[in-house]
Structure 1
Amino acid sequence: MTVSHDERRRAGKTAADPGAAAPKPRSRWTLVLLLAVCVAPVLASYFTYYVVRPAGGSTNYGTLIAPQRPIPATLALRNDAGQVVAMPTLKGKWLMLSVDASACEGRCLQKLYYMRQVRLTQNTDRDRVQLLWLRTDDRPVPQKICDAYGDAQFYVADAAALAAWLQPAKGDGIDRHIYLVDPNGNLMMRFPDNPDPSRIKQDLTRLLKWSGIG
């Protein structure tokens, strides 16, 4: 049987018709992957830090606060000049905070020292971390504290309001821990009483490494 030129041309066109076999939606999956990577850097950092764990268990030293507790909108702080600051306005950096009486002895001094040293060990990332000392009374701060910890911010806050937000471990007071607040204003970690500063440093270093915020 003889096939005409027109028939051969139509057959070739049909074989080459792109509608005959739809291409795989690779571009769609590429877009989904890009969105997954870009949508929330802080979520990606938390996933890497808390979910992707080496054999043997948890990588973190501090206790993860779950669910996260944002800074209360009504939590007010007062500086020594009498100016009132809404604590949510302090977000934007990693806040490492401690709560104590103004006299600051014993455990209080130890926590402030550990906080300062841990921040300094972050080298070029130390400016991403702000030290915050929240006092539960408005008595004068010893001059030695002011001289030694000038890189920290000192405020007076209501103890009951702080306890409602920080919710320390059962049986502990709010003054027994160092706390970490992420740059979005979420309380995310509580370190043990009488902590190991080298392990606090490891936690903070990992968070700063994996997170692009703050």
Structure 2
Amino acid sequence: MSGSESSNPAAGAEPLRFTVHSLPRAELADEARRVRAGRWKLLGLVLFAALPVIASYFTYYVIRPEGRTNYAELIVPPRPLPALTLTDLDGRRVDAASLKGQWLLVVVGPAACGEGCEQRLFLQRQLREMTGRERDRVDKLWLVTDDAPVAAALREALAAPPATQVLRVPAAELAAWLAAAPGESLDAHLYIVDPMGQWMMRAPVRPDPARLKRDLERLLRASSSWDRPGR
């Protein structure tokens, strides 16, 4: 009897099935738990790093001191920088992501910069200098929306330190990011972009420099805990 039981193939099948199948399932479950735990830890680190940015924007957008108003129009929600097709005036490609890391004062328009364009470029330079010791956190950018040549005298003036970065961009791509006020053209405004590449403020047409300066100073103060000069 005992001999027949020991020779029965079914008698040893159950332990073998446990060894071959159940043990790997347990190991896979442990691995899955470790992966989930790692993802939660990574998410926690990302959130911790982003807390200063979130706090500054929450303070600026939500916890506003009573009676405070913005002169320029806040863009809510801010519009992130898209993958624009950018080239410098010599035709070299420029990565759009390279614009991140600094506050940007942005002027847009065709290469044939008329009187209004020149006034906005002057305002751009003036605003940066008016921020005093914070000016190294602010860059000037002119986005040219056509392929026409920029006058040599203007190129020379914009290259004078601190230089204004001049880049060409297709007008249709730019219009998918920036937008004019109703009834105005895209090149009628000065735009403010934060160091994360988000367009977040639009100046009025023919703005008051002193009032616009106060807006820019508030933005710089609100971001002082996480934004530093340079990219």
What is the TM-score when the length of structure 2 is the normalising length? Answer: 0.71
* Alignment counterpart, residue 46 of structure 1, candidates 24, 38, 57: 57
The answer to whether 1:207 aligns with 2:219 is yes
Q: What is the CA distance between 1:119 and its match in structure 2?
A: 0.2
Residue 82 of structure 2: which of 72, 96, 118 is its match? Answer: 72
Letter in structure 2 aligned against 1:113:
F
Contact 1:49–1:59 under 8 Å retained in 2: no
Alignment match of 2:187 (pick from 175, 190, 206): 175
> Is 1:136–1:158's contact at 8 Å kept on the other side of the alignment?
yes
Matched letter for residue 227 of structure 2: I
Mapped to 1, the partners of 2:167 and 2:189 lie a distance apart of 17
Residue 125 (str. 1) matches residue 139 (str. 2): no
Aligned position for 2:66: 55
Alignment of 1:1-214 (within 5 A): 39-56=50-67, 58-73=68-83, 75-150=84-159, 151-211=163-223, 212-214=226-228
2:76 is paired with a residue whose SS is strand
Distance 1:37 1:72 in 2: 25
Give the distance between the partners of 1:137 and 1:161, measured in 2 at CA: 12
TM-score (normalizing by structure 1):
0.76
Cα root mean square deviation, aligned: 1.9
Task: Check conservation: 1:168, 1:174, Cα contact below 8 A.
Answer: yes
* Partners of 1:95 and 1:180 within 8 A in 2: yes
Measure how far apart 1:105 and its partner are: 1.1
Q: Deviations over 1:114-134 (max 9, x none)?
A: 010000111221111110000
Residue pair 1:37, 1:44 contacting (<8 A) in 2 also: no
Residues 48/59 of structure 1: CA separation in 2 closer, same or farther (3 Å cut): farther
Structure 1 CA distance for aligned equivalents of residues 154 and 113 of structure 2: 8
For the 8 Å contact 1:45–1:207, the answer to whether it is kept is no
Distance 1:38 1:85, change over 3 A: closer
Structure 1 segments (4+ residues) deviating >6 Å: none
- 1:61-91 Cα distance to aligned partner (Å, 9 max, x none): 1111111111112x11111111111222210
Residue 83 of structure 1 aligns with an amino acid whose one-letter code is R
Q: Distance in 1 between matches of 2:109 and 2:92?
A: 20
Q: CA deviation at 1:37?
A: 9.2
Encode CA deviations 1:168-207: one digit per residue, 9 max, x unaligned.
Answer: 2222211011111111111111111111111111111111
1:213 alignment partner, SS class: coil
Q: How many correspondences in the alignment? A: 177
Which consecutive unaligned segments of at least 5 residues does structure 1 have?
1-35
Richer in helix (by share): 2
CA positional deviation for 1:106? 1.4
